[in-house]
Amino acid sequence: MTGEALSTVGLEGFEGRCVGSLSSGQFQRVLFARLLLQDASVILLDEPFTAIDARTTRDLLELVRAWHGQGRTVIAVLHDIEQVRQHFPQTLLMAREAIAWGETSQVLSAANLRKARNMAEYWSPDALLCDSEDERS
């Protein structure tokens, strides 16, 4: 089964390779092969297309589409807005908190993106808190 999963992600013949010898794209493919072996109904992906080439991204997006077509839930954390628009039908837009959730075309509106950008740029967990009037007296 492992060989088949590696073949599916384009890494046939890599069964004996040490993980440390893989490129970032090859390593990401290995992680997707592991997901194939797990056959999970819910798949969580954290920045799965970061630091990999366009071909690897395309190949892995094909797997994501296949999983979606099989009725699996795919939750992916992404920062590439165009990638989200092109490949993900539902979106939860966040910037420290939920901004909008629903159909991607509606969620990624100019107003929602502006709100998310403002929250991300101007809010800091290190900001000093102001005392309320009641606490000062």
Q: How far apart are CA 102 and CA 91, in angstroms?
A: 6
Q: What is the pTM of this model?
A: 0.74
Task: For residue range 124-134, list pLDDT tens digits in order.
Answer: 655 555 555 55
Residue 24, C-beta contacts closer than 8 angstroms, at least 6 positions apart: 51, 52
Which sequence spans correspond to the domains of the chain? 89-123
Task: For residue range 63-93, list pLDDT tens digits in order.
Answer: 999 999 999 999 999 999 999 999 999 999 9
Q: How far apart are CA 126 and CA 52, in angstroms?
A: 33
